[in-house]
Amino acid sequence: MFLVSLSALLLTGKFFQKNAEQRSIAMSVVSMKMEEYLAKSYAGLQETTVPLTGVENGIAWTVWVEKKEECPNGCKVESATRIPYKVITVTASYDDLSSRGKKQKKEVRLVNMVPYPYIHIASYVSSPETLPVPPTVPFNNNGIVTKKPFYDVGLNYDQLLPLLMKKGYVDESLHVPPSFNTLDDEFKSWFAVTTYDTEGIPQTSYTLTDAQFTAIENILKDTRNPTNPINFQNIQNAALTINYPVGKHLLIVYNISTKINTFTNIQSNNTILTGIFINGVNISVITRTPIVLQPLISNVVGVDLQDLAAKGIIPSNNGTYLVELRWNKDTPSGVITAPEYNFMILAVEEIGTGG
């Protein structure tokens, strides 16, 4: 009886060993496939509509990649913050044999999550092969009137613009005529407020101060200044569109090599100006590089994107931002080109903003 039981135990043990081996081989297959997919970048992990399948060492495997979203503040509202992530599911099926010789299909499954990347890089690098005709540095001194200069000095652009256009200081295309120099008394009278003192004598005051009138004059005259960023123009291909569901800080780096093709009348103090624009608004310090003495322009700009959008400094455009490098020169003289340049954005996740 004892010996019969022992034999039965041994035979059962044989099936356990076989099944354990199959399970072990199946586990190594799912482990291998999981490693293969975890080696991919977030963008490189393509979501699957049908599972990927294959056979390895006699074990059939399947892989699913799904994109999901997590909403820190709940997903019910249309405008809720949605943080994407991807889920990889790897399954391997193997035959499990019972001691009575019955085959059963069993599975081992590994699931892993790939979070939304903390860092993104976008870049453009020019070369003589991709850009055989290098761009020429423009000279532009006919810029348009924009909101930001008024915002910066506490003036209401939306209220002032119609009045400036009515007076002819700004035309329909938002340009300032070259003849403009000062705001006249008639224009200033539109801001006059008449009050009466205790003796009934009228007193005139203005809703804008002299300093504010001067600021308006300077803003309008400045549109014709080539060093004003509104006169900067795009550099070919140095524009990258970014759209991240998670708030990011940006580090923007650019390098431009310049070549003087025509030297006529370029002075030693003439400069090339560059600046970063996001959704059409200049957000960075303007660099000025001497044309004659410095054939390389390099700059690094840090940007708190969410802060700029929250303050209304740049239009949000549903979280899509066009980041551009623009330039201008402060002299109409000479012809300068950029044989090579590069433009890179490093976007790093914000910390401590609560999503």
Q: Which parts of this chain interact with other proteins (CB under 8 A)? A: 3, 6-7, 10, 13-14, 17-18, 20-21, 24-25, 28-29, 31-36, 38-40, 44, 56-57
CB of 258 to other proteins, least distance (A): 35
CB of 125 to other proteins, least distance (A): 20
What distance in Å separates the CA atoms of residue 281 and residue 230, rounded to the nearest whole number?
A: 8
What distance in Å separates the CA atoms of residue 12 and residue 149, rounded to the nearest whole number?
A: 85
CB of 262 to other proteins, least distance (A): 45
Nearer of residues 13 and 162 to other proteins, judged by Cβ: 13
The closest of 215, 214, 228, 217 to 143, measured between CA atoms, is 228
Nearer of residues 64 and 187 to other proteins, judged by Cβ: 64
Nearer of residues 91 and 282 to other proteins, judged by Cβ: 91
Burial of residue 244 (CB within 10 Å: 0-12, 13-18, 19+) is: middle
Instruction: Give the other-Cβ count within 10 Å of 280's Cβ.
Output: 14
Question: Which tokens sit at 20?
Answer: 């354990």
DSSP 231: G
DSSP 230: G
CB of 149 to other proteins, least distance (A): 47
Nearer of residues 6 and 119 to other proteins, judged by Cβ: 6
Question: Which tokens sit at 58?
Answer: 């006699």
What distance in Å separates the CA atoms of residue 228 and residue 329, rounded to the nearest whole number?
A: 10
Question: Which tokens sit at 34?
Answer: 């999981």
CB of 3 to other proteins, least distance (A): 5
CB of 90 to other proteins, least distance (A): 11
What distance in Å separates the CA atoms of residue 137 and residue 235, rounded to the nearest whole number?
A: 8
Nearer of residues 25 and 155 to other proteins, judged by Cβ: 25
Q: How does 82-118 read in b/e, with b if 16+ C-beta sit within 10 Å?
A: eeeebebbbbbbbebeeeeeeeeeeebeeeeebebee
Q: What is the DSSP string of 299-311?
A: EEEEEEHHHHHHT
What distance in Å separates the CA atoms of residue 225 and residue 141, rounded to the nearest whole number?
A: 5
Nearer of residues 24 and 159 to other proteins, judged by Cβ: 24
CB of 7 to other proteins, least distance (A): 6
Question: Which tokens sit at 5?
Answer: 């039981």
CB of 113 to other proteins, least distance (A): 17
Nearer of residues 23 and 82 to other proteins, judged by Cβ: 23
Return the half-sphere exposure (C-beta side, CA atoms, 13 A cut-off) of residue 354. 3
What distance in Å separates the CA atoms of residue 135 and residue 128, rounded to the nearest whole number?
A: 11
Q: How does 300-320 read in b/e, with b if 16+ C-beta sit within 10 Å?
A: ebebebbebbeeebbeeeeee
Nearer of residues 15 and 213 to other proteins, judged by Cβ: 15
CB of 22 to other proteins, least distance (A): 11
CB of 47 to other proteins, least distance (A): 17
